[in-house]
Chain A
Amino acid sequence: EVQLVESGGGLVQPGRSLRLSCAASGFTFDDYAMHWVRQAPGKGLEWVSGISWNSGSIGYADSVKGRFIISRDNAKNSLYLQMNSLRAEDTALYYCVRYSGYDLGSYYFDYWGQGTLVTVSS
């Protein structure tokens, strides 16, 4: 069974940093690209970032480019999101999502974690 478990969320002040983690199990992690998608409270879905199976291709939404860094450790079956210079508008539930392919080509999101909540407030 595919499982994606996010952690690392919490309350953080504007301008500070936070690192999210996603522990994957139930599949061969390095066969798949992975993504982060966020959902602000009561709002819709926003793609944040994606990374190919070998970290060779990485993409970011314009809203986080230059502030967030996605990475993965295939030996640990883990995906990460380093979030720097956080803003109030980054407040959201952050989902770890498996891509159906190995690179950042066109596929689909097939499995989602439960999400971890990030709240940016003073």
Chain B
Amino acid sequence: DIVMTQTPLSSPVTLGQPASISCRSSQTLVHSDGNTYLSWLQQRPGQPPRLLIYKISNRFSGVPDRFSGSGAGTDFTLKISRVEAEDVGVYYCMQVTQFPITFGQGTRLEIK
């Protein structure tokens, strides 16, 4: 199974400041079709997860442009350009390049 490792596990951030979360996979996420199936999810307190980013850097419908994804191969990053209060929650990376589908352990974003 592909192991997804996120850092940090907790990230205190000041409102209006940027935030960054890293995700590393135990093997390449480049699929035989040439795509990389790495997604980022946001889970606000008491809510189900919500898709933010798919295939490394594509923002899902309705996701603010302050969220961006980057990376390649085994190393990926989610960036929030200016953190807002509504961004508080847990962020997960996940891969669908190879079954079983696996998730990172989650990064808790909190306001300082």
Contact = CB atoms under 8 A, between A and B. Distances in A.
B67 interface: no
A109 B51 contact: yes
Majority SS at the chain B contact face? loop
Q: Which of B50, B101, B102, B103 has the most CB of A within 10 A?
A: B101
A122 interface: no
B48 A47 contact: no
A44 B105 contact: yes
- By size class, the interface of chain A is 20 to 34
A20 to B, nearest CB: 15
Q: Which of A35, A44, A46, A100 has the most CB of B within 10 A?
A: A44
Contacts of B92: 44-45
Interface string A86-110: 0000000001000010001011111
A113 B55 CA distance: 22
A108 B99 contact: no
- By size class, the interface of chain B is 20 to 34
Contacts of A100: 54
B35 interface: yes
A95 B54 contact: no
B51 A110 contact: yes
B100 interface: yes
A61 B48 contact: no
A108 B103 CA distance: 12
A95 B49 contact: yes
B33 A106 contact: yes
B48 A114 contact: yes
B37 A107 contact: yes
Given A106-B35, A106-B37, A114-B48, 8 more contacts: A35-B101, A45-B41, A106-B31, A108-B39, A108-B96, A109-B51, A109-B96, A112-B50
Interface of B: 31, 33, 35, 37, 39, 41, 48-51, 54-55, 60, 92, 94, 96-97, 99-106
